[in-house]
Structure formats: structure tokens, C-alpha cells
Structure 1
Amino acid sequence: MAIDLPVIWAAIIALGLFLYVMLDGFDLGIGLLFPFFEKSSDREVMLNTVAPVWDGNETFLVLGGAGLYAAFPVAYATLLPANYLPIVLMLAGLIFRGAAFELRAKATRTRHLWDLAFIAGSVQATFCQGVILGSLLQGIEIVDGRFVGGSFDWLSPFSVFCGLGLLVTYATLGCGWLIIKTDGNLQESMYALMKPISAVLLVTILVVSGWTVLGQPAVAQRWFGEHLFYFLPVPLAVLASVWGIHRAVNLRIERGPFILALVLLFLGYSGLIISIWPNIVPPSLTIWNASSNPSSQLFALVGTVIILPIILVYSFMQYRVFRGKVREGDGYHH
């Protein structure tokens, strides 16, 4: 039985991007929650919950991008020109945010400016990621494996709403993470915030799902055609997860809101993959049409099989080492 290398690489890239969104999602979410907490001590605690791990989270974004370039060069050469501006702005936001993260710890009189930079970088990076996702989901004009659309095709009401939706998603993840990592008044504030923000996330998921179905007949056919019975549990699981978040908040189950927020993220991500599969760039570029030479894919796969487990073990260990509560006075930079 022949090995289907494009399917294997599609799974690796999908895993890498999901791990990035899961890990850097709550990391960016802390920057999105910053405006709700003006006390310097609260902000210090919030930052110190991710200070030892935040830069390692972005490793998986590099994995996804490098994997796409190596395994699916046609898709890489299509997605970049279709989204040049949001991609550049996303990277600029991540760079500026990272600089602000470190420099604010050394600043005294200008710390509030670096706080603003941290917030702005988090918002910019997250919003641009959502816009890129929206442009991918709405489809990209391709002829003979080349992008033939306009420079601003990525800018649409749907992609803008996806950008706003990702802001809500990451903020929900950040809130759940801080419930686990903090205690006292700050934790209570996060509990109070988790209910409304998860309700907004539910509305966002419903709107994006409905908009996608109405705007993409192919997706509607896939979801409501002969496979409806298999897909029906997904919206039910979404409703159950949001209900579970509210119940976990009421019962003060610390890990519950974050875990269920991750379940919501997984359901949305799996829904995206189901909607576009086997296309890697909707509506017409499949993983097989976009693939590089099999020998190139196999060569890159050997290196990935060696390196990826090391990255996963390292990531697991850093979260294990820095587990536990973070309190005022516990300083990564001290």
C-alpha cells in the first residue's frame, strides 16, 4: 500500500497550526484582556503566567509555515500574494508585541506606553490571523495554480468579522488560562468575565457558521447533504461546551473553563477542515495539486519525524516545570 505523502503532510501542518492557535491563542488573549485591568500588579501577574513559555509557543507557527513551503509550494505561492498585507501586519504585530513584552519590564516612566504597544501588537496579530482565515474560507481566485485576484480580495465583511471573531476566541482562551494560573481577586475577575465572553464566542461561532453556509454552496452541500447525521453532533457539542463553561464558573472548577474553551476551538477548527477538505486553498486547489515532488516531501518528512517529537516533549516539559499558581511578587524578570 503506497504512502499518501500529501495527506501525511496535510495532517502535520494541520496539527502544527492547531497547536499554535491553542498555545499562542491564550498568550495573545492576555494582551487582549490587558485593557480590562489597569492595576500594575494585576498586569504583572498576567504577564508572568506566560513569561517563561510565550516565545516557545510561536514555534508551531514556524512549523506550519515551513511545512507549507516544503510540502505544498503551490499553496504557499498562492496564499502569500493573496494575503500579503495581513501577513506582514500579523508578523509586525507579533514582533512589536514581543519587544514590548520584554522592554516594559526594563521601563519605568514609559511602561504605560509599552503596555499600549503590547495591547496593540496583540490585537493586530490576532485580527490579521482572523482576516487570513476568513479570506481562505471565502475562497481565493486561482487559475492554472496561480493567484489571479486583486491585492485587496482578502478584505471583505466576512473576513473582517472572522478577525473580530478570533479576537473573542483568543480572549476566551486567555481568560480560561488566567483562571487556572491566578487566585484571589484577579481570579474572581476572570471568573466574572468568562461567562459573558464565552456567550459572545457562541454567537460569533453561530454567525460565522451561518455566513459560511449561506455564502458557500459547496460547504452547505457538505454539511447538510448525506453526511448530516455525522455532523449533527458538532453544533450540539458547541452548545454543551458553552453550557459547561458557565457551570464550571458557577462551581469554581478552575480547569473546566479553559479545557472547554479548547474543546470549542477544536470543534471550530475541525469544522473548518471538514468544510474545505481536500482543498488546501478553496475552492479548487487540492492537497495533491499543490504538492511538491514526492522525494522532496519524503526528505522533509524524515527531518520532521525526528524534530517534531523533540519540540513536543520540550513544550510539554516547559509547561510542566512552570505549572502552578502565579502570584504578585513572583517575577520572571526579577
Structure 2
Amino acid sequence: MDLTIVWAGLIAFAVLAYVVLDGFDLGTGILFPLLGRHENRDTAMNTVAPIWDGNETWLVLGGGGLFAVFPLAYAIIMPALYAPIIVMLLGLIFRGVAFEFRFKTVRGRVLWDFSFAFGSIVAALAQGIALGTLVQGIDVEGRAYAGGWFDWLTPFSMMTGLAVVVGYALLGATWLMMKTEGELHGIARRYAFITGIGTLALIGAVSLWMPFLQSGFYSRWFGFPQIFYVAPVPILVAVAAWSLFDSIAREKHVRPFLSALALFTLSFAGLGISFWPHIIPPSVTIWDAAAPESSQAFLLVGAAVLIPLILAYTAYAYWVFRGKVVEGEGYHH
């Protein structure tokens, strides 16, 4: 068994879990200024209040796993992305503080509303920029980062940043459709439709731009016979998009959220197809970057205990806080 492939899969899973779970709660923050009455904002916040901090466990797991198992990748990626990652962490701190303080003040509520929305938008934008930087390629010489301080700032990374903000807003809107009723459900439905169109447009734009960034991407998607292996991804994206708009139009409650999650998961799979087997395209493969096998085996023992535990408590939290959130009353069972 190749432990390096197992670990690459585990870290990819942790990143996807983070994007899926923290995506909708960042999205709820991104939509915060657009929700109308402050009671609507209270209700929106109550939908994510019991679970938001658990969602960020996956970010720690992904980052910690990268540091421990792929130290070379960590050593190259971090200097390339210091600025967006520090900005992301500051955004997440803003949000966390706003969560606690917003309910304890009336006079300062506007300030904390702004902090919550601002932190959410900044964190999402920074994540998108970091992703775009990794996709467009990082300059590596020998075993070190060879680029400049502002290499992350390009038209492509700005577009991926915007794509992540709009995509998270879609997750937030469909989450609120699932979790609320009445006026707030209607507002969320309207924004789900708008952000759905935006997300699809941006997925299309990024997908068309990517093959021209690196020759490896182009041959992976348009080469023969590879095109037959990768064709299911865009076809499934079209199916998920149809399901999303169909369910929004029919005012479904759960299916829009599941469809939006499917779009994210498929986009992530597309990235995986483009990258494999590189952890830093086009030069560093997962095997180049991996720690010694004994270290990987040792860490895998810890992961085998921790990951099922995290999954279990996450599932339990979502099960306990299932159902709709009613204005002024919180969760109902």
C-alpha cells in the first residue's frame, strides 16, 4: 500500500470537508448585509451558531497534515501564500469575535454585523486567491520557493477569489433555504438563484482559463484518450446545475443545498484531475514532497483515531441541530 497516496487522499478529503462545511457558514456571513431586518440576521446566525466552530477543525487537519506529511510542499507553498493566508486567518478571527459579541450588545450590533460580513467575505476571497495561486503554478528552484512577495496577485487568482466568494454565497443561500421559513426563506431563495447563475458562470470561466495556464492541464482535459475518462465531470456538473435551478424554482427546501454541494464536490474533483499526481503543479509530485514512510505510518495511526472521531461528532452535531430555525425561538424539534 502506498502511504503517500493514502495521505494525499486524506488531506484532499480534509480540504473538501472544510470547503463544504465552512463554505455555507462563510456564505451566510457574505449574505448577511442583504437579509433585511435584524431579526432575519439573528435567525440566519442561529442556523450556524451551534456548528460553525466545529467546521474549522478540518482546516486545522488539512494544514497540520500538509505540514507533517508533505513538509516540502508546506515549505514551498507557505512563503508563496503568506499574504492571503494571514488575511484569511484575520478574517476568520473577525467572524469568530463577531459571533460572540453580536448577541451581547444592542448599541454595537451594527459594528458586529459589519465585522461578521467583512470577515466572511475577506476569508472567502483569500481562500480563492490562495487556490488560484496554486493552480497557476508556483516558481520552484531546487527545493525552495523562487517567486516574489506578490506572485499571488494575478488576474486569474482574483477571478478564483471572486468565484469562491460567489460560490460560498450560493452555499449560504441554499443553507438558509433549508433551515428557515417565511420571509427569510424567500430572501434566501432569491439570492440562491442569483448566486447560482454567478457560480456557474465563474466555474465555466475558470475551467476555460485553466488549460491554458499549464500545458499539463490542457493534455489532461483535451488529450486523447484522457478526454473520455474526464468527460463525466462536466456532464455531472450540468446535471447538478439543472437540479439546483429546478429545485429553487419548485421551492424545495433540501435539494438546492445538496445540489450546490454537488457542484462544489465536482469542481474539487476537476481540480484533483488537473493536479494529479502533483501537489504543486507543474514540478513537485506528492512523492517528491512526502515525509519518510515511517513518519507517514506513525501519523496514520493518529489519523485513524482522530478522523472517525471528528466525523462522528460532526454528524452528531448536525443531527441534534436538524430541522428549521424559527425566528426568535431557535431550533425546533
User: What TM-score do you get using the length of structure 2 for normalisation?
Assistant: 0.97
Q: What's the counterpart of residue 217 of structure 1?
A: 215
Pairwise CA distance, 1:233: 2.3
Contact persistence 2:24–2:171 (CA under 8 A): yes
Amino acid at match of 2:93: I
Between the aligned partners of 2:251 and 2:114, the Cα distance in structure 1 is 32
- Kindly report the root-mean-square deviation, in angstroms, between the aligned alpha carbons of the 2 structures: 1.0
- Deviation for aligned residue 1:38: 3.0
1:232 aligned onto 2:238 = no
Q: Contact 2:35 / 2:187 at 8 angstroms: preserved in 1?
A: no
Q: Distance in 1 between matches of 2:174 and 2:190?
A: 11
**Amino acid corresponding to residue 317 of structure 2 in structure 1:** Q
Take 2:275 and 2:241, find their aligned partners in 1: how far apart are those partners?
A: 25
Cα distance between partner residues in 1 of 2:205 and 2:90: 29
C-alpha displacement of 1:331: 4.2
- For residues 2 and 277 of structure 2, the distance between their equivalents in structure 1, rounded to whole angstroms, comes to 13
Where structure 2 has 5 or more consecutive residues not aligned to the other structure, the ranges are: none
Contact 2:76 2:145 in 1 (8 A): yes
Contact 2:18–2:56 (Cα < 8 Å) also in 1: yes
Q: What's the counterpart of residue 196 of structure 2?
A: 198
Q: Deviations over 1:224-244 (max 9, x none)?
A: 112111222222221221121
Residue equivalent to 1:66: 64
Whole-Å separation in 2 of the counterparts to 1:233 and 1:7: 23
Which runs of 5 or more structure 1 residues have no equivalent in the other structure? Answer: none
The CA deviation string for residues 143-181 of structure 1, in whole angstroms up to 9 with x for no partner, is: 112111111111100001100000011000011111110
Q: What is the total number of aligned residue pairs between the two structures?
A: 330
What does the per-residue CA deviation read over 1:281-333, in whole Å, with 9 as the maximum and x for residues that have no partner? 1111000000111111111110110111011000000000010100111248x
Q: Secondary structure at the match of 1:280?
A: strand
Letter in 2 for 1:300: L
| CA displacement 1:103-130 (0-9 Å, x = unmatched) | 1111111110110011110011000000
Q: Take 1:330 and 1:125, find their aligned partners in 2: how far apart are those partners? A: 30
Which amino acid is 2:74 matched to? Y
Judge which range, 243-252 or 304-313, deviates more: 243-252
SS in 2 for 1:289: helix
Q: Which amino acid aligns with 2:235?
A: L
Which structure 1 residue ranges, 4+ long, deviate > 4 Å from structure 2?
none
Indicate conservation of the 8 Å contact 1:48/1:330, yes or no. Answer: no
Q: Tell me the TM-score normalized by structure 1.
A: 0.97
Aligned to 1:186: 184
Aligned match of 1:112: 110
Q: SS state of the match for residue 151, structure 1?
A: coil
Choose from 158, 161, 164 the match for 1:163.
161
**What percent of counterpart residues are identical?**
48
Structure 1 counterpart of 2:76, from 72, 75, 78 = 78
1:105-144 equivalences in 2 (<5 Å): 105-144=103-142
Distance in 2, matches of 1:25 and 1:106, equals 26
Query: What is the rounded CA distance, in whole Å, between the counterparts of 1:249 and 1:156 in structure 2?
Result: 34
